[in-house]
Structure 1
Amino acid sequence: MQGLAVGIGSFHFELHSAEAPPIVQVWPERVRRALEAIPSVRDVEIEVPRTYDPASPKDVPGIRYSPHPTSGQIRFRLNIPSRIQKEVFRHWRGTQWENYTVLMFYTPGDPVAFVFVDDAGAETSAAFAVALVRNFIEREMKRLGEASEGVHFVCRGPSPFHVDLSFQPEHGTWDGDKAFERVGMVVEKRQSPGYPEMTVRFDATRFGGANKAAVTFASLTLEQIGLFYRLVAQGGRRADQAREVRQQVDRLISVHQRAGVKAWFLRVFRSGAWARELGLQVLILTYTFSEERRGAKEAVARLCDDADLPAFRSWLEEELAVDHNDDLENCREIAEMLEPRRLRETNAVLVISVAIVSAVLGALLKGLAG
């Protein structure tokens, strides 16, 4: 019995259309027609509910999902000959593997895609297949133009997921492993010079073949992977917000470093307001980041603590460990360090202003008295 190599990513199809028919009436068929319009795609199967999430930012400014299914899947096969592979990836010699099966799942997190390398064994790295299928479908969808009927192909990184996933049949029993007893498979992980390797050893008697085992594995882990991609998106947004705060700090530092009347005016009359706005923004972001991380930790625990196969827990925990609060705290401290200088210059302005006003008033009073 042959093993199987599988790649993981996050991509799916959206319908960008302002037409009147409700999306539940047109989404499945338009996606089907778009896929079937690609000559090398075959055996398209779409199983989605009649409930759709509304268009929402999905926590990432600039990446807006159109209404999409709340659950369900898309499945199809495609053939990408070696000569086409060389066109999709320039300066690449292509591979001997030309047949792929793609499963796209909609999850409570982000969409998840599995790419099976149909004509290769488990020893093949399937990460390349995700990149190949992604670029090929992107190219073909653009070629369809208006024939796509508003259907767009959307991808989120990292796609491919940074793991070499393979399925190996296991004959006999796997003594002492509860996961193997419950679900008929056990996960082994190993670090390697490239991507980490994840080998899923499955009960050959129970599943009969690697494809069936891989589909079962996908159903057991897809919510973990969907949450991973959601955490990546949230982490990207937090990184952008922390970067904006650092840019504001750079502006404050620049004003305090520059000489001249304009810089002095900005320090005295503007930088105080900038520093207060910065401090408030840091407080809000620190609270928001902490709440997001708390919610994410609860989601990871809910998915993995009692899971039959918590295969992706380590990747989820790595995303949870990404913390921008130290950056925010450094920005707040810098703003506070610059404030005394501004106050000294402001006080100097007040002293000078009082002296000038006193002199003017004194001169006026003297003139009136004379």
Structure 2
Amino acid sequence: MSVRTYSLGIACFHFSPKEDIAPSKWGEAIKSGLESVASVRDVEITDLGHFVSRYDPILEWGEEEFRGADSYDFELHPQAGMIAFTVAIQERDQEKLNLFGRRVVSPDETFRVITMYGTSGPATVVQFDGGTDSRLLGAQGVFVVREFLQREFKRAEVEIDFLVVGPSPFHADVSVHEEEGLELAGSPFSVIRERTRGYDIIEVQCPTQATMDLYRDLFAELQFFYECVRERGRNATRAQSVSRMADALVELYRVPGAKGFLKRLWWSRSQARELLIGVIQAKLGEARSTASMQQEFQRLKESMSVTIFDHEVSEEVASDESEQLKAAEEVAKLLEGGAKKEFEIFVLSTSTLLGAAAGAVAAVLAK
């Protein structure tokens, strides 16, 4: 009877050519880049399909500032397919790179890294034999692999970029027990989750014949989770842009004296209106993305046998930037009202002064 127990770390790794490249050459470029790292072997890239890019759509308001600046957005990437490889990391490197406790996580020094692409984007699992502590090492394995690959990519001057979307490692230690002929009542596999103050401990039991079903559901859930993370990152960046506009408007009102008064007189109302427009557009963008994520999440739950990360996905879908946008909106409304009042006082004062001057001229002419 075949039995296998191993640690499973969760992450979101993406590999991208540094130069613009045709979709037909993408897989070849990734494989060549990975194989240029001496510790990487057994590279498999299969079933790539339907390449897309976040650069293709017309950018919404606020996105120009961060496009391509971080891992919220990927350049050309497939919406189907797999990148898998084995990386050998010696024990001394594991101890050096593992900031969780300077310990070896894989005694046989072997890690299998699998990134699956779907319509929501990529997600990654790192498989390795953690020995007697397999149930406690999944996240540490991801951390060691991530740090090792980042270091080796720099050393080898690899012609592809290694991008990571957080949380990577995901905040859970997963172990999988596969057993041929294992019978489970009411489900193709079972999940036991122990909540802890740190990383939750998740133990999965799965008949060997149901392994494909397990990974299909696991990757679908994780791909959607990391897409929600990236979407919330975009929303947060838009909100931060709006907040910077609000800060600039507040600073304008802190300029003292006649110089500050004149600046506010001519510029503050237009800036306040621009800020309000930014708030409205950011709210609309967030509302659209939230509605889309809620709809997709419901569809995903209905299609899966067992959801493992329902809590984490629910939190990510529900997260928003409403407080930050509300504060910026209040600043805009308050200072726009103040600017209007200052302008009215200026007009009234000017009219009074001009009226007095005209009266004085008339008196002189009457003499």
- Could you say which TM-score interval applies, normalised by the shorter chain? 0.7 to 0.9
SS in 1 for 2:295: helix
- Looking at structure 2, the residues matched to 91 and 162 of structure 1 have their Cα atoms a distance apart, in angstroms, of 13
- The verdict on how the C-alpha distance between 1:315 and 1:29 changes in structure 2, with shifts beyond 3 A counting, is same
Which residue number corresponds to residue 104 of structure 2? 95
Does residue 201 (structure 1) correspond to residue 185 (structure 2)? The answer is no
Does residue 225 (structure 1) correspond to residue 222 (structure 2)? The answer is yes
CA contact (8 A) 2:84 2:113 kept: yes
Q: Paired residue for 1:167, among 160, 176, 181?
A: 176
Deviations 1:178-205 (A, max 9, x none): xx1xxx202222211211222212236x
Which residue number corresponds to residue 17 of structure 2? 15
- Looking at structure 2, the residues matched to 73 and 17 of structure 1 have their Cα atoms a distance apart, in angstroms, of 21
Does residue 236 (structure 1) correspond to residue 233 (structure 2)? The answer is yes
Deviations 1:43-76 (A, max 9, x none): 2211033542246389863235332222110122
Moved more, 26-35 or 132-141: 26-35
Q: Paired residue for 1:132, among 127, 144, 159?
A: 144
- Structure 1 unaligned regions, length at least 5: 208-212
Which residue number corresponds to residue 127 of structure 2? 116
- The verdict on how the C-alpha distance between 1:285 and 1:18 changes in structure 2, with shifts beyond 3 A counting, is closer
Which residue number corresponds to residue 193 of structure 2? 189
- The verdict on how the C-alpha distance between 1:76 and 1:199 changes in structure 2, with shifts beyond 3 A counting, is same
- The verdict on how the C-alpha distance between 1:125 and 1:85 changes in structure 2, with shifts beyond 3 A counting, is closer
CA contact (8 A) 1:15 1:152 kept: yes
Does residue 81 (structure 1) correspond to residue 90 (structure 2)? The answer is yes
- Looking at structure 1, the residues matched to 352 and 337 of structure 2 have their Cα atoms a distance apart, in angstroms, of 22
What is the aligned length?
351
Which residue number corresponds to residue 52 of structure 2? 53
- Looking at structure 2, the residues matched to 96 and 326 of structure 1 have their Cα atoms a distance apart, in angstroms, of 42
- Following superposition, the deviation at residue 367 of structure 1 comes to 5.4
- Following superposition, the deviation at residue 18 of structure 1 comes to 4.3
- Following superposition, the deviation at residue 110 of structure 1 comes to 2.3
CA contact (8 A) 2:242 2:325 kept: yes
- Aligned-pair identity (%): 26
CA contact (8 A) 1:15 1:66 kept: no
Residue identity opposite 1:45 in structure 2: E
- Looking at structure 1, the residues matched to 337 and 40 of structure 2 have their Cα atoms a distance apart, in angstroms, of 67
Which residue number corresponds to residue 41 of structure 2? 42
Moved more, 272-281 or 360-369: 360-369
- Looking at structure 2, the residues matched to 257 and 355 of structure 1 have their Cα atoms a distance apart, in angstroms, of 27
CA contact (8 A) 2:115 2:123 kept: yes
- Looking at structure 1, the residues matched to 100 and 317 of structure 2 have their Cα atoms a distance apart, in angstroms, of 37
- The verdict on how the C-alpha distance between 1:281 and 1:50 changes in structure 2, with shifts beyond 3 A counting, is closer
Moved more, 103-112 or 58-67: 58-67
Residue identity opposite 1:29 in structure 2: E
- The verdict on how the C-alpha distance between 1:328 and 1:29 changes in structure 2, with shifts beyond 3 A counting, is closer
- Following superposition, the deviation at residue 114 of structure 1 comes to 0.6
- Looking at structure 1, the residues matched to 23 and 250 of structure 2 have their Cα atoms a distance apart, in angstroms, of 51
SS in 2 for 1:3: strand
- The verdict on how the C-alpha distance between 1:95 and 1:296 changes in structure 2, with shifts beyond 3 A counting, is same
Deviations 1:110-136 (A, max 9, x none): 211110013535423210111111121
CA contact (8 A) 2:6 2:177 kept: yes
CA contact (8 A) 2:130 2:137 kept: no
Moved more, 309-318 or 99-108: 309-318
Q: How does 1:21-32 map to 2 (within 5 A)?
A: 22-24=22-24, 26-32=25-31
- Looking at structure 1, the residues matched to 359 and 260 of structure 2 have their Cα atoms a distance apart, in angstroms, of 32
Does residue 288 (structure 1) correspond to residue 297 (structure 2)? The answer is no
Which residue number corresponds to residue 60 of structure 2? none
TM-score normalised by L of structure 2: 0.86
Deviations 1:235-265 (A, max 9, x none): 1222222223223323333333453222222
Residue identity opposite 2:74 in structure 1: Y
Which residue number corresponds to residue 303 of structure 1? 300
- Following superposition, the deviation at residue 88 of structure 1 comes to 4.0
Residue identity opposite 2:32 in structure 1: R
- Looking at structure 2, the residues matched to 142 and 329 of structure 1 have their Cα atoms a distance apart, in angstroms, of 43
Which residue number corresponds to residue 252 of structure 1? 249
- The verdict on how the C-alpha distance between 1:51 and 1:326 changes in structure 2, with shifts beyond 3 A counting, is closer
- Structure 2 unaligned regions, length at least 5: 58-62
- Looking at structure 2, the residues matched to 44 and 254 of structure 1 have their Cα atoms a distance apart, in angstroms, of 55
Does residue 66 (structure 1) correspond to residue 75 (structure 2)? The answer is yes
CA contact (8 A) 2:49 2:80 kept: no
